[in-house]
Amino acid sequence: MGIDSLVGGTIWDEYSNKVTNLMNNPQNMGEITEEQANDMNAKLIVADFGAESCGDAVRLYWAVDPKTDKILSSKFKSFGCGTAIASSDTMAELCKDKTVDEAVKITNIDVELAMRDTPDTPAVPPQKMHCSVMAYDVIKKAAAQYKGVDMESFEEEVIVCECARVTLSTLQEVIRLNDLTTIEQITDYTKAGGFCKSCIRPGGHEEKDVYLVDLLDEYEKEKMSAGATLGNDSGTSVDFVKMTIVQRIKAVDKVIDENIRQMLVMDGGDMEILDIKENGENFDIYIRYLGACNGCASADTGTLFAIENILKEKLSDNIRVLPI
């Protein structure tokens, strides 16, 4: 098992001191025998997990008290690089004295954080983050074996970025709420794609069902579809309910631009959309008056009534306009 090295030489400054120490001096490497488990009145669990992308593999041993489900002892054997050894050792340590249900909640992020010297400095280079993912997966494998279930039953949501544990629903929501258009923006907002980069597009360490480029493409098509609907002059109403938050804001802005804003500007004022929130069946649109409209006597009466009526007519009867 070799120590990690990269092109241009070994870059130890990208590894924490904890990681380099555990590479050479793991504390939990070894095995638990059936005899040892019996001496503890425990059930022996032996789980194997391998990462096809890099050829690394890990075997996890648990001695579990069947009365309390507590993990009395935890050891591992690693067949892979130095980072895999350090990650597996840390994973085994985190499992100790936890119940099986508690151990399943340990993620690769927890493993990586536990290997850091300081809270804000990553323990390993981005391209080695997948080693801690393998540690997380073998925990699920062991827990599934103990409980007699499929390991996939522990995943409540589809994970797109395994390294940062970012779900499909989170990515879809963040992209829509913030109108993201690039991979760099997604990484800034969620950290997805910032480590091994397998989730960005096909061709990385691991094959995915969904990639970040797919989500950006999906969102772009939604925007184009919404734009075509909003630009339709046939007089049909827009399905405001099915729009994303970004699409709703754009739809409201379009109606304001075409029907309201010119009158406000002529009087030295203006307005901006701050937020749109669903409140039961209603859509509460929060606005802020600008210029002469701010503090105007009719801003909360006639002007507000006109704005709300136009939006109800053009978009949805359930719209309420709330000035802030």
Dist CA 217 CA 226 (whole Å): 14
Which pLDDT tens digits describe the chain residue by residue (324 residues)? 344 444 444 556 789 999 999 999 999 999 999 999 999 999 999 999 876 556 678 999 999 999 999 999 999 998 878 888 999 999 999 999 999 999 999 988 889 889 999 988 888 887 777 777 888 889 999 999 999 998 878 876 788 998 888 889 889 888 887 788 999 999 888 888 988 888 999 987 778 899 999 999 998 888 777 665 555 543 434 578 888 777 888 889 889 988 888 888 888 889 988 889 988 899 999 998 988 888 787 778 888 899 999 999 989 999 999 998
Could you count the other beta carbons within 10 Å of the beta carbon of residue 264?
21
Do both 189 and 77 map to the same domain? no
Dist CA 185 CA 205 (whole Å): 22
Catalytic annotation present for 296 = no
Catalytic annotation present for 131 = yes
Structural domain harbouring 106: 1-154
Do both 11 and 92 map to the same domain? yes
Do both 24 and 111 map to the same domain? yes
Do both 120 and 205 map to the same domain? no
Of 154, 189, 211, which residue sits at a domain end? 154
pTM recorded for the entire structure: 0.57
Domain with 85 in it: what CATH number? Answer: 3.90.1010.10
DSSP, residue by residue, 159-211 = EEETTTTEEHHHHHHHHHHHT--SHHHHHHHH-TTSSS-TTTSTTSSS--SS-
Do both 246 and 230 map to the same domain? no
Do both 189 and 258 map to the same domain? no
Marked catalytic residue, from 81, 95, 131, 161: 131
Instruction: With CA atoms as reference, report the closest residue to 20 among 94, 83, 109.
Output: 83
Do both 146 and 160 map to the same domain? no
Specify whether the CB–CB gap between 144 and 151 falls below 8 A: yes
Of 234, 262, 289, which residue sits at a domain end? 234
Do both 11 and 146 map to the same domain? yes
Number of structural domains the chain divides into = 3
Of 126, 154, 182, which residue sits at a domain end? 154
Do both 54 and 76 map to the same domain? yes
- Our CA angle for 77, 79, 82, nearest 5°, is 95
Q: Where are the alpha helices (DSSP H) in the chain?
A: 17-24, 34-39, 82-95, 100-104, 108-114, 130-147, 168-178, 183-190, 212-230, 245-259, 261-266, 302-314
Could you count the other beta carbons within 10 Å of the beta carbon of residue 254?
16
Marked catalytic residue, from 54, 81, 161, 293: 54
Instruction: With CA atoms as reference, report the closest residue to 171 among 215, 107, 222.
Output: 215
Do both 138 and 261 map to the same domain? no
Do both 213 and 258 map to the same domain? no
